Amino acid sequence: MPRANPLAWLSEEIEGWKRAGTYQRLRVLESACEPVARFDGREVINLASNNYLGLANHPKLVEAAIEATRRYGAGSGAVRTIAGTMTLHVELEQRIARFKRVEACVVFQSGFTANAGTVAAILGPEDTIISDELNHASIIDGCRLSKARIRIFPHRDFEAAGRMLAELDGTPGRKLLITDGVFSMDGDIAPLPVLVELAERHGAIMMVDDAHASGVLGRNGRGTIDHFNLHGRVDIQVGTLSKAIGCLGGYICGSRDLIEYLYHRGRPFLFSTSHPPAVAAACLAAFDLLEQEPERIEKLWENTRYFKEQLRREGFDTGISETPITPIMVGDAALAHAFSQALFEEGLMATGIGYPTVPRGKARIRTIVTAVHTREHLDRALEILVRVGRRMGIGRRV
C-alpha cells in the first residue's frame, strides 16, 4: 500500500498563500547586479539590491577574485579551525579591524551566521537579552539558540529598554543590549548614543548590527559607531560583506579576547567551511575602494536625498526612513505584491515585502538606490512609480 505523504500539508499551505496573493516566485537575475539589470527576460531599473556602492560587479573586485582563484584555487578545503584558514582570510580580518578601529575581527560565512553564532556563543540560559522588536531575523535566531531570556522593547523605545535593564540591576546573569544600527526594512537609525549610555550604566554588553550601515554611514562607511562617534563604547560590532561590500560574508569586531573566544566557540565558524579565496580577495579590494573613493558614498547619499524628496513630493508614504533604504508603504500584503508585479511589467524592480519579514498590515515595497544609479535612472523609476501608483491608488490622493 502506498505510504501517505507526510508532507502533504505543504501543498495546502502553499495553496493558501496563492489564494491570499502572498505567494512569491523567485525572480531570476540573468545579468550581473547592475542599476539596470535583466530579471526573467526583462530589462528593469533595479531598486531591489543591497549593492549600495555598485561594488558587486566592480572590475577591481572581479579582477581580485579571478587572480585569487588562479593562485589559490576555487575552494579553501576545510573549516577555519581545521585547515581552512588561508592568508587571505587573515589579511581580511586584519584589514576590517583596522578599518573599524577595533582590536580584532573574525569573519563568518555570512552576516546571518555572524549574528546567530555570536549571540548563541556568548549567552546562556541564565542570561537576559534586551532586543529591539525590529531587529534582524538572524539576531532573533541567535537569541533563541542561546536559550537566554529574551525581552523585546518597542522599536527604538530606549526608555522601555532602560526600564528593562533597570529591573535587572543586581540580578545574576549577563545582560546583552542588542540593536540593528540601520533597520533593514524601515531604513531608520537606532538611537545609539542613548542605548550605549544605558548599557554602560547597567553593565550590559552592547552589540550593534551594522549590516546596512557599513559602507553607508560614518567616515568612509565605517558605520553607525563612527557616525555617532561611539568608538570604544560598543562591545560587539557586526557587519556584513554581502551588501555595500558587494560580495558575501559577515564579521564581528571587538576586543581580541572576544575574537579569540569566537574562534573557539562560534559554531558556524567551527563547523562550516571558510570562504573561497575569491571572496576574501574581492572583499579586500572593496575595502581599498572604500578608502580610496569616498565620493561613492557621497553619490549614494545624493541619490538618496533626491529620490526620497521626489517620492514624498508625489505623495508616497516613505515611513520613517533616514537612509538609502526607502520603503513605500502600502499596508495590505496582496496589494504590495500586486504593486511590485505591475511595476516590474513597466520596467522597475522593487520587491514587495509582507509578513513575516515585516508585521502584518505593514506591507510595502522596498527601494534602495545605489551610488551607480544615474539621475536619468531615478527619474525613469519615479515616472513608473507615479504612473502605476495612480492606477492602483497608491501615492498621492487625487
Part in contact with ligand PLP (CB under 6 A); list of ranges 3-11, 110-118, 273-281, 383-391: 110-118
Measured from the CB atom, the residue of 112 and 287 that comes closer to ligand PLP is 112
Asked about 243 being catalytic, the answer comes back as: yes
Shortest Cβ 393–ligand PLP spacing (Å): 30
Part in contact with ligand PLP (CB under 6 A); list of ranges 105-113, 157-165, 170-178, 314-322: 105-113
Asked about 275 being catalytic, the answer comes back as: no
Measured from the CB atom, the residue of 215 and 250 that comes closer to ligand PLP is 250
Question: Does the bond joining 356 to the residue before it have cis omega, within 30 degrees of 0?
Answer: yes
Per annotation, catalytic residue among 184, 214, 274, 340: 184
Tally of residues, the chain: 398
Collect all residues with Cβ–Cβ distance below 8 Å to 55 and sequence separation of at least 6: 61, 244, 245, 246, 247, 286, 289
Binding mask 238-277 for ligand PLP (x = CB under 6 A): --x-x-------x---------------------------
Shortest Cβ 266–ligand PLP spacing (Å): 14
Measured from the CB atom, the residue of 212 and 299 that comes closer to ligand PLP is 212
Residue 170 region by backbone torsions, left for phi larger than 0, else alpha for psi between -120 and 50, else beta: left
Residues 147-176 that bind ligand PLP (CB under 6 A): none
Residues 128-147 that bind ligand PLP (CB under 6 A): 136, 138
Shortest Cβ 36–ligand PLP spacing (Å): 23
Per annotation, catalytic residue among 58, 136, 243, 373: 243
With CB atoms as reference, the residue minimizing the distance to ligand PLP is 111
Shortest Cβ 206–ligand PLP spacing (Å): 16
Shortest Cβ 182–ligand PLP spacing (Å): 7
Q: Which three cell numbers stand for residue 113?
A: 551566521
Binding mask 180-219 for ligand PLP (x = CB under 6 A): x---x------------------------x-xx-------
Measured from the CB atom, the residue of 211 and 259 that comes closer to ligand PLP is 211
Cβ atoms within 10 A of the Cβ of 57, count? 15
Rounded CA-CA distance 11/8 in Å is: 6
Rounded CA-CA distance 274/86 in Å is: 9
Which residue reads 541567535 in cell numbers? Answer: 142
Shortest Cβ 255–ligand PLP spacing (Å): 21
Tell which one of 46, 115, 214, 303 touches ligand PLP (CB under 6 A): 115
Distances in whole angstroms, Cα of residue 61 to Cα of each of 4, 34, 81, 100, 206: 51, 14, 27, 20, 33
Query: Does 323 sit near ligand PLP (CB under 6 A)?
Result: no
- What residues are paired with 36 via a beta bridge? 45
Burial group, residue 129, by CB count within 10 angstroms (0-12, 13-18, 19+): buried
Tell which one of 35, 111, 352, 389 touches ligand PLP (CB under 6 A): 111
- What residues are paired with 152 via a beta bridge? 131
Burial 224-257 (b: 16+ CB within 10 A, else e): bbbbbebeeebbbbbbbbbbbbbbbbbbbbbeee
Shortest Cβ 23–ligand PLP spacing (Å): 23
Instruction: Provide the binding-site residues for ligand PLP, judged by CB under 6 A.
Output: 110-112, 115, 136, 138, 180, 184, 209, 211-212, 240, 242, 250
Residues labelled catalytic = 184, 212, 243
